[in-house]
Structure 1
Amino acid sequence: MKFRRLFAVVLAFAFVPSAWPAYAADDGSRAQPASQPPGAAIASAHALATEAGFEILRAGGNAFDAAIAVSATLSVVEPISSGLGGGGFFLLHDAGTGRDIFVDARETAPAAATPDKYLTADGEFNRDRAENGPWAAGIPGLPAAFVHLAQNYGKLPLKTSLGPAIRTAREGFPIYARLQRGYAAKREVMERYPGTRAVFLADGNPPVEGEILKQPDLARTLERLAEKGFDGFYKGETARKLLAGVKAEGGQWTAAELAGYRVREREPLTFAYNHWRIVTAPPPSSGGVALAQMLQILDAWDLAKLDDAQRTHLTVEAMRRAFRDRTFYLGDPDFVDIPMKTLASRDYAAGLRATIHPRKATPSDLLSGEPTPLEDEETTHFSIIDADGNRVAATQTVNLLFGSGLIPPGTGVLLNNEMDDFALKPGTPNAFGVMGFEANAPEPGKRMLSSMTPSFMISDDRIAVLGTPGGSRIITMVLLGMLGYDAGLGAQQVAALPRFHHQWMPDVISAESGMFSDETVTALQAMGHTLNLPADGVSGRASSHQWGNLQTVLWNRKDNTLEAGADPRNPVGQGKVELPAESQQ
């Protein structure tokens, strides 16, 4: 019940109009907001990754160098969630130029991975091939992102920024409970492959909490990347080992596909909500477009004046409409013509808002169509602000638990299973019971649709960086986090907020344990909503008790303070603020 108590406290603060200091009228007497943070703040899903970022900042690096260190260290200590064999999105703000940049390091489809390769002899969908082993894996993008960040935005050599990750891979780290549980859940797949067994069964036994996991092959792979940059991973020794490992298990990657991988810089999606400017992820993320729709739909209502049930109802209706559009229109913008100006416009949001009954649920089957592939919650996010005002929101993944389960021998690189995020067979559910269509069908070099939503919020007084893993729930968790910041909450309060979700299909509200009171549940059901609540809830089937792993940092420019919020659902995460030594005296 701890989340219900927390939510009650949050509501008492956040949804009383007099408790929203950010909305107070400016009478001209306020001090000018600070133009530069007093120090740096980092929040990530593992304390070793957070400390790696600060180590690089202390060495003279900026937020972009620190992002390499944090990301690479997470790739070592969170193989359950991300790694060099996966990809990610990096949302950057360059304080020197004032530019916002979106670095797309999403994986790409190998040419051989045509839809027919994912069918059995009798034409049925081959779920095992789509999720496990070489055919499940797209061409990795994360190593190329490190090189790109170092060459274009960092201050330090890549070798320096990768140093903490190399050290951690070589010396090892203590296995934590989630990693042990995750391995047990996927043990059958992990132990199919000799390269994977060499890492996780090095002593003959599966990982046990508290033991030290050393990854010497991964350390050497990182060292080659550090020494030779792009060619150290996508060509040469590492590439040969990756190709050999994929081929040995029956897959079909080519040297040209590896050498031809490129990150893409894209224009971030920007829109206004209340007094905030929101900067977020464009396609091939579906998250930014969905956020724009949901927040601009909700912008017409004063949420603070509504009771819990009414506020939830309207938020769910906004979620429902955004996820419906996700299905039909979104995919890789290099392959699909996406009507962005329409989907993200205030006029379009107003039209969607007009279809919402203020006291009655809209059945999802009245908004025709089928849902599309989403991302598993085994993803990770980190947020950074440095002392110059540079900032990074980065979300990275290997998709499902431990990705494809395949480590090509001698590399230490756990390959992703992002191919399942494509619509491999139109109308057939992916791992999460959701379906896709032509906009997200695989093609050679195409990037699969994602839910990852790294984001910035900027107002006159406050700047926030946030994001989370969580599959389809990523988008709605970021939405709720933004509503929390809009209500005046701090970083740790936002990271701890209880969560609910609706994704159009299936037509059901799911929620964390303790999210809703009995009275709110009864009121929502009277409006026509179906709820899927945890076992200790009022009704419905059991759902996950806790979701996501939101990491966020906040710069309060009014009093020039920093906050870092790490999701309390994850005991090994760390949010930390570090000030220059002279300011601590």
Structure 2
Amino acid sequence: MRIASALQAGCLSLALAGACVLAPAQAAQAPQRAAHPPGAVVASAHELSTQAGLDILRQGGNAFDAAIAVSATLSVVEPISSGIGGGGFFLLHEAKSGRDVFVDARETAPAAATPAAYLDKNGELDRDRATNGPWSAGIPGLPAALVHLAERYGKLPLRTSLQPAIRIARDGFSVYARLEKGYGSRREVMERYPGTRAVFLADGTPPKAGETLKQPDLARTLELLADKGYDGFYRGEVAKKLLAAVKQEGGQWRAEELSGYQVREREPLRLKYRGWDITTAPPPSSGGVAMAEILQILQGWDLSKLDEAHRVHIVAEAMRRAYRDRTIYLGDPDFVKVPLARLTSADYAAGLRATIHPEKATPSALLSGQPAPLEDDETTHFSIIDAEGNRVSATQTVNLLYGSGMVAPGTGVLLNNEMDDFALRPGTPNAFGVMGFAANAPEPGKRMLSSMTPSFLESKDKVIAVGAPGGSRIITQVLLAVLAYDAGLAPQQVAALPRYHHQWMPDAISAEAGALSAQTVAALQAMGHTVNAGESTWGNLQTVMWDKAANTLSGGTDPRNPVGQAAVLPQP
């Protein structure tokens, strides 16, 4: 949809709460909707990964082959955000069958990782052990996901789809500013480990923007994965090196925990909001449940008739209630009973809606938490639609900047620090301020709760894939994207929108600088809200859209990340 610049400027702030409605360019006869997209579109957080996906599509691959290429290339060029030492979620749509499936490649807890293992001598959470080194790492899931996608859904051999990542790992890529800055913030931890020093201090100095970073060990690991599939990572040479590295640094992994890792295929969560059918992430993601709860609460208001302060107030109150429920109820559905039917029901949302005062903030302390709750911004997301109509929305992570900071020598594999996403000490916030209780306590083989929210939106005329990094703020980023698409904005406008967030605890509205006007901040404070209105930007949203009425493809990549790229490959 084309939007005049003045109208666009007016809608940017209104779309934060879904309040801007754009009229069609003409009221002429509705065009016939296309049956297939006119090509393919890829949006990812790095131009090399976007180009890798397009390259695989040119070779005859489908969206799922392209997803392997994009995912693996991000693992090479964004070690700050994700990697094959981590995990992720892949939401897939098969055009031929019409089937949606959620591929859960979340990391799992080693048997040794009991809650007691993370307490210091005073019984307090040992933050260093929870976030750094081998004890912070779960069993990786991403390599298994790449194999699974190739075997179940792709058209090309795994070796073909992994080739761009192998080449870039071997030949190197140009270090960018975020990579350099992130290393600086984690340098003390990363330089504890000889395997990490061998990669990031290969020339004797830390990575600097503009330098070429080569990862020959990682290239070799990817080649073994390409040649031997699952066994190339979870058994044999790589597995032995991973186990030895963890043991050398004092951790405890078992060979059978590596060789026994399996992805899980789960039924996606489905919901409706106004004219949209939304397909999103089920547990062990908390994202889809929280988003369903928030959107159903918001159904009770016509947001377009509220001023900005009252729109933000209502949305923040809905966020507050959903995040409270995230804390209490959500965990790995293979281990705990998650009350999905209740949490996603319209009746439950109506009850929560009735507790929202239209003029006053509800103190979070008044919402019961007995027992009653941010992967880091450096998670990454990509979105793909191909010419057959297949689509992928995928979010992957190693958790904190550079994960655990530990590279297993001889593998190039940077291990995650996802164990901190468990409730290692019930009621104690993790590194990003999110609490948890028994539902998210670690057990052998259990998957830690996540906020990753890869999603599809579909209306009469549009098909959209969207997702973002940002820890607990992932959910609200995707929520605001839904509201913005409902307001009629285009993908790049959606990716660029200013953001705000509430997560129950701490009891405050967080907002990027400039996201809320001074008058709105003052009005919210008068209602009783604490507003942190000048926070740094967060997230890295990536989204693509097929407009079936116009039969056009478009994408949006977050301008907060200057190396991202959204690109269309026209049908030849």
TM-score range (shorter-chain normalised) is over 0.9
* Residue in 2 that maps onto 1:575: 566
Match in the other structure for 1:539: none
TM-superposed CA distance for 1:124, in Å, is: 2.5
Partner Cα distance (1:87, 1:51) in 2: 22
Determine the structure 1 residue equivalent to 2:357.
Answer: 357
Query: How far 1:372 moved relative to its partner?
Result: 9.2
Which amino acid in the other structure matches residue 399 of structure 2?
N
Matches within 5 A, 1:343-422: 343-369=343-369, 374-422=374-422
Q: TM-score, normalised by structure 2?
A: 0.96
Q: Partner amino acid for 2:570?
A: L
Residue 365 to residue 283, structure 1, CA distance change in 2 (3 Å): same
Q: Is the 8 A contact 2:11 2:20 kept in 1?
A: no
Q: Which amino acid aligns with 2:527?
A: M
User: Contact 1:21 / 1:488 at 8 angstroms: preserved in 2?
Assistant: no
Contact 2:90-2:395 within 8 A present in 1 as well: yes
Partner of 1:184: 184
* Corresponding position of 1:563: 554
One-letter amino acid matched to 1:186: R
Task: Please say which of residues 119-128 and 569-578 is displaced more in the overlay.
Answer: 119-128
Q: Which amino acid aligns with 2:132?
A: N
What is the CA-CA distance between 1:533 and the residue it aligns to? 1.8
The Cα of 1:10 is off from its aligned counterpart by 2.0
Aligned partners of 1:13 and 1:424: how far apart in 2? 38
Q: CA deviation at 1:16?
A: 7.0
Whole-Å separation in 1 of the counterparts to 2:174 and 2:396:
22
Counterpart mapping for 1:18-29 below 5 A: 19-21=22-24, 29=29
One-letter code aligned to 1:10: L
Q: Residue 553 of structure 1 corresponds to which residue in structure 2?
A: 544
Distance 1:331 1:52, change over 3 A: same
- Match of 1:577, SS state, is strand
Return the offset for 1:580.
2.1
Deviations 1:228-250 (CA, angstroms, capped at 9, x unpaired): 00000000000001001111101
Is the CA contact 1:372–1:434 (under 8 Å) kept in the aligned structure 2? no
Partner of 1:336: 336
Helix, strand or coil: the match of 2:466?
Answer: strand
Q: Deviations over 1:63-117 (max 9, x none)?
A: 0000000000000000000000000000000001000000000000000111111
Amino acid at match of 2:106: R
In the alignment, the residues of structure 2 paired with residue 319 and residue 67 of structure 1 have an alpha-carbon distance, to the nearest angstrom, of 31
Equivalent runs, 1:147-158 vs 2, <5 Å:
147-158=147-158
Contact 2:374 2:470 in 1 (8 A): no
SS in 2 for 1:42: strand
SS in 1 for 2:514: coil
Map of 1:289 onto structure 2: 289
Contact 2:216 2:412 in 1 (8 A): yes
CA 1:373–1:210 in structure 2 vs 1: closer, same or farther (change >3 Å)?
Answer: farther
Percentage identity across aligned positions? 72
Q: 1:387 aligns to what SS in structure 2?
A: coil
Counterpart amino acid of 1:412?
A: G
Residues 196-250 of structure 1: CA distance to partner in whole angstroms, max 9, x if unpaired?
A: 0000000111101000000000000000000000000000000001001111101
* Mapped contact 1:370–1:436 kept (Cα < 8 A): no
Alignment partner, residue 490 of structure 1: 490
CA contact (8 A) 2:86 2:397 kept: yes
Counterpart-to-counterpart distance in 2, 1:563 and 1:371:
45
Query: Aligned runs of 1:48-63 on 2, under 5 Å?
Result: 48-63=48-63
Deviation of 1:373 after TM superposition, in Å, equals 6.3
User: Take 1:376 and 1:571, find their aligned partners in 2: how far apart are those partners?
Assistant: 18
Alpha-carbon distance in structure 2 between the residues aligned to 1:361 and 1:7: 29
Q: Distance in 2 between matches of 1:394 and 1:447?
A: 17
Report SS of the residue matched to 1:322. helix
C-alpha deviation, 1:59, in angstroms: 0.4
Equivalent residues in 2 for 1:29-40 (5 A)? Answer: 29-40=29-40
Q: Does 1:220 align with 2:220?
A: yes
How many residue pairs get aligned? The number is: 566
Question: Which letter does structure 2 place at the counterpart of 1:558?
Answer: A
Q: Which amino acid aligns with 2:546?
A: W
Whether 1:514 aligns to 2:514 is yes
* 8 Å CA contact retained: 1:373, 1:449: no
Letter of the 1:281 counterpart: A
Q: CA deviation at 1:374?
A: 3.4
Secondary structure at the aligned position of 2:301 is classed as: coil
Residue identity opposite 1:304 in structure 2: S
CA RMSD across the alignment: 1.8
Give the distance between the partners of 2:549 and 2:241, measured in 1 at CA: 53
Q: Distance in 2 between matches of 1:456 and 1:354?
A: 29
- 1:359-415, Cα deviation, whole Å (9 max, x unpaired): 211111110228996311110000000000000000000000100001110000000
> Residue type of the partner of 1:225?
L
Return the offset for 1:436.
Answer: 1.3
Distance 1:497 1:181 in 2: 24
Matches within 5 A, 1:436-447: 436-447=436-447
Between the aligned partners of 1:125 and 1:492, the Cα distance in structure 2 is 42
Residue 540 of structure 1 corresponds to which residue in structure 2?
none
Residue in structure 2 matched with residue 435 of structure 1 by the alignment: 435
Question: Does the C-alpha gap of structure 1 residues 339 and 16 become closer, same or farther in structure 2, counting only changes over 3 Å?
Answer: closer
Checking the alignment, whether the CA contact within 8 Å between 1:326 and 1:372 is kept in structure 2 is no
1:112 to 1:12, Cα distance in 2 relative to 1, 3 A:
closer
Name 1:528's counterpart in structure 2.
Answer: 528
The aligned residue for residue 479 of structure 2 is 479
- Pair 1:139-2:170 in alignment: no
Paired residues for 1:311-330 under 5 Å: 311-330=311-330
The residue matched to 2:456 in structure 1 has which SS?
strand
Aligned partners of 2:498 and 2:14: how far apart in 1? Answer: 14
- Cα distance in 1 between the residues matched to 2:125 and 2:19: 52
CA contact (8 A) 1:7 1:498 kept: no
- Residue 273 in 1 paired to residue 273 in 2? yes
**What's the counterpart of residue 537 of structure 1?**
none
Q: Which moved more, 1:294-303 or 1:144-153?
A: 294-303
The AA in structure 2 aligned to 1:96 is K
Contact 1:81 1:398 in 2 (8 A): yes
Cα deviation for residue 319 of structure 1 reads 0.2
- Code of the aligned partner of 1:565: G
**Which residue is 2:12 aligned to?**
10
Q: Deviations over 1:514-534 (max 9, x none)?
A: 011111111111211110121
Q: Which residue of 2 aligns with 1:163?
A: 163
Contact 1:174 1:210 in 2 (8 A): yes
- The one-character-per-residue Cα deviations of 1:21-40 (angstroms, maximum 9, x if unpaired) are 49x99x9x422311110011
The one-letter code sitting in structure 1 at the alignment partner of 2:153 is Y
**Deviation larger for 521-530 or 316-325:** 521-530
- SS, match of residue 30 in structure 1: coil
Q: 1:372 to 1:18 in 2, by over 3 A?
A: closer
C-alpha displacement of 1:304? 1.6
8 Å CA contact 1:286, 1:451 repeated in 2: yes
Code of the residue aligned with 2:303 in structure 1: it is L
